[in-house]
Amino acid sequence: MQKFLTFFTVKNKLKLIIFSVVFSVYFLFSLLMVTPGVGVESLRFIKSIENQISKVMPKGVYVVDGQDPSYETIMETVIKKAYSADAVSTLNSYETENYNQKKEDYTNFANKWYESRWSKVKENKGDIDLYDLGIDLISFDEAVSTEFLSYGYVHAGIAWMFQTNGLNEIFSSSIRNDLLRNQTIVDQDLYDSKMKSSDPGVDGIDIYDSPGTLLINNKIWYLNKQIENIKYGMNVFGHNIFKDKSLNESNMSKTSVTADELYTPHFTETLDNLRVGVILFFILLIVVLPGYILVLTMLLISKKKGAK
pLDDT digits (tens, 9 = 90+) for 213-272: 899 999 999 999 999 999 999 988 788 999 999 999 999 989 999 999 999 999 999 999
Shared domain for 185 and 288, answered yes or no, is no
The pLDDT-based confidence of 305 (bands split at 50, 70, 90) is low
Using a 10 angstrom Cβ sphere, with 0-12 exposed, 13-18 middle and 19 or more buried, the burial of residue 251 is exposed
Q: What is the dihedral of CA 30, 33, 36, 39, to 10 degrees?
A: -120
Shared domain for 154 and 300, answered yes or no, is no
**Whose CA is closest to 273, among 31, 42, 23?**
31
Shared domain for 152 and 213, answered yes or no, is yes
In what helix (H) or strand (E) does residue 88 lie, and over which residues does it extend?
A: helix 80-88
Shared domain for 196 and 145, answered yes or no, is yes
Q: In this structure, are strands 207-209 and 128-129 parallel, antiparallel, or unpaired?
A: unpaired
DSSP 199: P
Q: Which domain holds residue 295?
A: 1-34+268-308
Q: Which residues lie closer than 8 Å to 16 by C-beta, 6 or more apart?
A: 296, 299, 300, 303
Task: Give 76-93 pLDDT, tens digit per residue.
Answer: 999 999 999 999 999 999
Task: Give 191-207 pLDDT, tens digit per residue.
Answer: 999 999 999 888 999 99
